[in-house]
Amino acid sequence: DPRFFNMSPREAAATDPMHRLLLLTTYEALQMAGYSPDRTPSTQRHRIGTFVGQTSDDWREANASQKIDPFWTTGGVRAFGPGRLNYHFGWEGPSYSIDAACSSSMAAIQIGLTALRSRECDMTVAGGANIMTSSDPFAGLSRGSFLSPTGSCKTWDSTADGYCRGDGVGMYLSHGFWVLLLTHRDRIQAVIRSISTNHSAKAISITHPHAGTQQRLLRRVLDEAGVYPEEVNYVEMHGTGT
């Protein structure tokens, strides 16, 4: 129902499905967290910011040759993804669209946590979205030998030959520890002890990972979190295509 999000049917039809799903997913995350605006120190709307990882312009590119209507800009430009969240929910904090390729969602979460640590925000809504509505990225990635012809990532396997694309939207609500000390009403699902990123600058090409650089990153994250490697019992990974 577009009117639930203060959109006309015409505007909704012209809006990137990725933006529409960001609205729905964020609303669901807020419900799960028991969010009530301006009721607690962590839900003051002027202290809430959005950070969304997005790396494609499928919808805008697919519709570029079609009839351009008044909603072409607000419905297709990536900046309006997080901007629409701020606008609908009345949040006055920062609103960023972040592109770091495959790591865009994690980069968005890290930047959001940085805003919490610096006390620029008391709550951040961060995550990522990828909705495939154009065949062009498939063609480009396939010709660049990024995609697996077998349809499987085969992470850690010697026969790995690329990765597989997929649709997905995920959003997280995060608070700083000082806010959690002031209220016990929030439904806490997990604690992020440490988060960090780096770049494999010494790799053999711009698309290849570098083992030494990644090792240093993992050591730094474990050290900041105060966790020993042998204490880690679950690892969720990205099956890279490079």
Q: Above pLDDT 70, what percent of the chain?
A: 95
Domains annotated for the chain, with CATH where assigned, are 2-132+167-190 (3.40.47.10), 193-235 (no CATH)
Retrieve residue 14's tokens: 């012209």
- Tell me which DSSP letter residue 100 carries: B
* 131's tokens: 């909705």
Give me the chain's average pLDDT, please: 90
Asked whether the beta carbons of 167 and 145 are under 8 A apart, the reply is no
What does the alpha-carbon distance between residue 29 and residue 24 come to, in Å, rounded to a whole number? Answer: 9
User: For residue 213, which phi and psi values (nearest 5 degrees)?
Assistant: -65, -40
User: Where do runs of H (alpha helix) occur along the chain?
Assistant: 9-14, 17-33, 58-62, 72-76, 80-89, 104-117, 136-143, 177-180, 211-225
Q: Which residue has better confidence, 135 or 187? A: 135
Residues 206-217 have pLDDT tens digits of 888 889 999 999
Q: Is 99 helix (H, G, I), strand (E, B) or coil?
A: coil
Using one digit for the tens of pLDDT, what is the confidence trace for 48-90? Answer: 999 999 998 898 888 877 778 899 889 999 999 999 999 999 9
Name the 3-class secondary structure at 182. coil
Residue 240 banded pLDDT, cuts 50, 70, 90: low
